[in-house]
Amino acid sequence: MKYQKLDEKYIWHPFTHLKYQNKNIVVTKAKGVYLYTEDGRKILDAIGSWWVNVHGHTHPYIANKIQQQLNKMEHCIFSGFTHPPAIELAHKLSQIVPIKHPKVFYSDNGSTAVEVGIKMALQYFYNQGLVHKNKIIAFKNSYHGDTFGGMSVAERNVFNLPFKKKLFKTYFIDVPNAKNISFVRQQLIKYLNKEDVAAFIFEPLVQGAAGMTMYEAKYLDELIHICKQYKALTIADEVFTGFGKTGKLFASEYLKNKPDIICLSKGLTGGFLPLGVSICNQEVYNAFVDLDKTKTFYHGHSFTANPLMCTAALANIELIEKTDFLDKIKQIEKWHKQFVQTICSHPLVKDVRYKGIILAIEIKTKDKTHYLNNMSEMIETFFLQKNILLRPLGNVLYLVPPVIIQENELNTIYSAIKQFLQYLSTSKFS
Ligand SMILES: Cc1ncc(COP(=O)(O)O)c(C=O)c1O
């Protein structure tokens, strides 16, 4: 266990309670839906690493493409210079994203993809002399990453509490449902009437970090329509929902009214390498085409459009197109549906929801549903003992498996969930 000791000595891990942390599990190999550990365990990955993995770990098609690119070029400055993987990827993305005549702006993770999306929207108005249009509308319970822009447009909660005073002001509206839609409409219009709104940002259909909470496309469609009437831009943060999570390649495909900007990352490279893109429509782009140099979008990263990352993303999309990817997701959704019927009336299940490859089960506890709910550690430990990686969001246990998962592997997870509910029923927790 040489690595575990060194890890403990030298590394500070993210989202980790330093006082309570157990020893980190050292994974030395990953293949398909399995992780292989230093101490000889084989762990079934039920959450696609960090919602990033699409075709299973270390898929040979993507790995080979990256290897070939490695021998050609590892990095390329991206201002004044360009390269085939970035061009081919942008071309490919332009054929599949639900935005007409898109322009692709590269960055290198989900938070920066969102950051760029917000900055594009703000500068779009700034460049037109509409400097007062500088507020963003967002949903309550939203999560958009850990940089300051992303935190500012997210729910004020434990993720950003120490920085609260440094975050810019955002207007928050409720997530719509059948009961509150007219109220949410009023909230939105109230803010739009202030005439200082640049954009409305949202996680379409599923709020991932909030606990995989889901809402219907028709309500979001209505809100986007209103934004368009008021000439506010709309930003779909598809960092989580992109690349098949909800059953279509992008959740925005469920919408009649398309967003002006789409932010992508996570599944973009099939989970191989970090890459972010913020894709805008021609109208947004045009606001930056000006002889006045102050209207330039002065944003970039050293690894912007890195050729290895772009190659991985291209290979990921090629694999999606070559395989029965969307049919497989439909099949997974059917399996989820069948399983849900067997547990939905369990007294310890507060709510259960599914869409595409996502399945979320909210466990009833004495505390409210919350990221810091103590049930979290209990769930993680229980499933790890069964060699299943299932990292919950508080008392919400969820699956986002790689799309290549087989029926028997899902059945292993489903049966472990039933055992967990049984275990809870007989323990003090219930
Ligand atoms: C909707 C959404 N936006 C942005 C992010 C941030 O992405 P990253 O962790 O790559 O910075 C996440 C991460 O979970 C996310 O779910």
pLDDT per residue over 231-259, tens digit each? 999 999 999 999 999 999 999 999 999 99
pLDDT per residue over 32-80, tens digit each? 999 999 999 999 999 999 999 999 999 999 999 999 999 999 999 999 9
Q: Which atom of ligand 1 is nearest to the CA of 274?
A: 10
**Ligand 1 mean position, distance from CA 241 (Å):** 10
**Ligand 1 mean position, distance from CA 338 (Å):** 30
- Find, among 115, 117, 126, the residue nearest to 149 by Cα: 115
Q: Which atom of ligand 1 is nearest to the CA of 238?
A: 1
Which residues make beta-bridge pairs with 213? 207
Report pLDDT for 428. Answer: 65
**309 shares a domain with 333:** no
Mean pLDDT along residues 223-238: 98
**32 shares a domain with 167:** no
| Cα 158 from Cα 411, distance rounded (Å) | 34
**336 shares a domain with 291:** no
Report pLDDT for 2. Answer: 87
Could you tell me the two tokens for 117? 């999306």
Q: Answer with the one of 306, 322, 338 that is the final residue of a domain.
A: 322
**344 shares a domain with 246:** no
Report pLDDT for 90. Answer: 98
Closest CA to ligand 1's atom 8? 110
pLDDT at 102 over 60: yes
pLDDT per residue over 328-362, tens digit each? 999 999 999 999 999 999 999 999 999 999 999 99
**259 shares a domain with 173:** yes
Write the DSSP string, 192-227.
HTTT-EEEEEE-SSEETTTTSEE--HHHHHHHHHHH
Q: Which domain holds residue 417?
A: 2-55+324-426
**Ligand 1 mean position, distance from CA 424 (Å):** 31
**292 shares a domain with 214:** yes
**Ligand 1 mean position, distance from CA 392 (Å):** 16
CA dihedral 368, 205, 199, 191 (to 10 degrees): -50
Q: Which atom of ligand 1 is nearest to the CA of 150?
A: 4
Report pLDDT for 429. Answer: 62
pLDDT category, 368, cuts 50, 70, 90?
A: confident
CATH number at residue 99: 3.40.640.10
**Ligand 1 mean position, distance from CA 426 (Å):** 37
pLDDT at 372 over 70: yes
**138 shares a domain with 240:** yes
Report pLDDT for 361. Answer: 98
Q: Are strands 103-107 and 276-280 parallel, antiparallel or unpaired?
A: antiparallel
**258 shares a domain with 205:** yes
**93 shares a domain with 42:** no
Mean pLDDT rounded to a whole number for the chain: 96
Mean pLDDT along residues 183-207: 98
User: What residues line ligand 1, using a CB cutoff of 6 Å?
Assistant: 109-111, 114, 143-145, 203, 208-209, 237, 239-240, 265
Report pLDDT for 341. Answer: 97
Q: Which atom of ligand 1 is nearest to the CA of 145?
A: 6
Which residues make beta-bridge pairs with 106? 277
With the most atoms of ligand 1 within 8 angstroms of its CB, the residue from 115, 146, 239 to mutate is 239
Mean pLDDT along residues 14-27: 87
CATH number at residue 404: 3.90.1150.10
Q: Which atom of ligand 1 is nearest to the CA of 147?
A: 11
| Cα 175 from Cα 153, distance rounded (Å) | 14
Mean pLDDT along residues 308-324: 97
Amino acid at 294: T
**332 shares a domain with 314:** no
pLDDT at 202 over 80: yes
Q: Which atom of ligand 1 is nearest to the CA of 265?
A: 10
Supply φ then ψ for residue 397, to 5 degrees. -100, 130
pLDDT at 369 over 90: no
Closest CA to ligand 1's atom 5? 145
What percentage of residues in the chain have a pLDDT greater than 90? Answer: 94
**Ligand 1 mean position, distance from CA 427 (Å):** 35
**368 shares a domain with 332:** yes
Q: Answer with the one of 322, 354, 376 that is the final residue of a domain.
A: 322
Q: Answer with the one of 301, 322, 343 that is the final residue of a domain.
A: 322
**236 shares a domain with 196:** yes
| Cα 93 from Cα 106, distance rounded (Å) | 12
Report pLDDT for 20. Answer: 77
Mean pLDDT along residues 96-104: 96
Structurally, the chain folds into a number of domains equal to 2
